[in-house]
Structure 1
Amino acid sequence: MDAEWVAVASTEDLARRRKLRVEVDGVAIALFQADGEVYALADTCVHQDRSLFKGTLLHGKVICPGHQWQFDLETGYEEDQDRCQPTYPVRVDDDGTVYVNPVSRGDATAPSEKELKA
């Protein structure tokens, strides 16, 4: 099971700017730290191919520098759109090492009404 997890950074690396761009198997992933948690999203925005790492963190969301879409850090959901930003599972060990599972949780579509109510 642990073979799926890849060490990509440390919480110390994220401490100053609260965001970091890493690559796992040639895929760009943006890491964000908010409210004591670390989140991982595909770095390239599903809308305009802009780097989310260059976006702004605000209230649990990252704001894309392209057209200001606001992606939820945990789900990748953008409430006014029908597409989601792919997200990746993150694990942080006691020593502060940040691991990402490079298998995306998102399929780039928004959750259905049923999923939102669940």
Structure 2
Amino acid sequence: MSTPQTWVAVATVKEVTRRRKLRVEVDGVAIALFHANDRIYAFADLCVHQDRSLAKGTLLHGRVICPGHQWRFDLDTGYEEDQDLCQPTYAVHVDGDTVHIDPTPREVSGRECAS
């Protein structure tokens, strides 16, 4: 049985789309928001590799590229195919001009990572 989602307002759509990436905090946890492909995605801001801020990284071809060692995380899943690892991601809900996230990281299962 899955846990119901608890939505937390974290930004406006305009804040995220204007910059394409934005770092926010929810209960002391840094979350990186990205705007690409007409959607907003949410990742744990600190890279699973060496704790570099993904909000300082680059968006390219449907991937977030870490500024540290250029690991490329898939926007939909958080999966890094060259390293066979996943970056934690969060569910996103947009209501009007408000971006909400579920502050509980998505479950990671094998190569599929977050779905």
User: Given the superposition, is the C-alpha separation of residues 70 and 110 from structure 1 closer, same or farther in structure 2, using an over 3 Å criterion?
Assistant: farther
Contact 1:41 1:76 in 2 (8 A): yes
Q: Where does residue 100 of structure 2 map in the other structure?
A: 99
Q: Where does residue 24 of structure 1 map in the other structure?
A: 26
Extract unaligned runs of 5+ from structure 2: none
TM-score when scaled to structure 1? 0.87
Distance 2:43 2:55 in 1: 9
Give the fraction of aligned pairs with identical amino acids, expressed as a percent. Answer: 67
Superposed displacement of residue 82, structure 1: 2.3
Distance 2:10 2:86 in 1: 23
Which of residues 34, 53, 56 in structure 1 aligns to 2:55? Answer: 53
Distance 1:110 1:40 in 2: 20
Distance 2:39 2:84 in 1: 26
Superposed displacement of residue 98, structure 1: 0.2
TM-score when scaled to structure 2? 0.89
Contact 1:44 1:51 in 2 (8 A): yes
Q: Where does residue 88 of structure 2 map in the other structure?
A: 86
SS at match of 1:74: coil
Which of residues 6, 10, 27 in structure 1 aligns to 2:12? Answer: 10
Aligned residue-pair number: 110
Distance 1:52 1:104 in 2: 16
Q: Deviations over 1:73-117 (max 9, x none)?
A: 110000111210000000001x2200000010144x751xxx59x
Moved over 3 A (4+): none
Extract unaligned runs of 5+ from structure 1: none
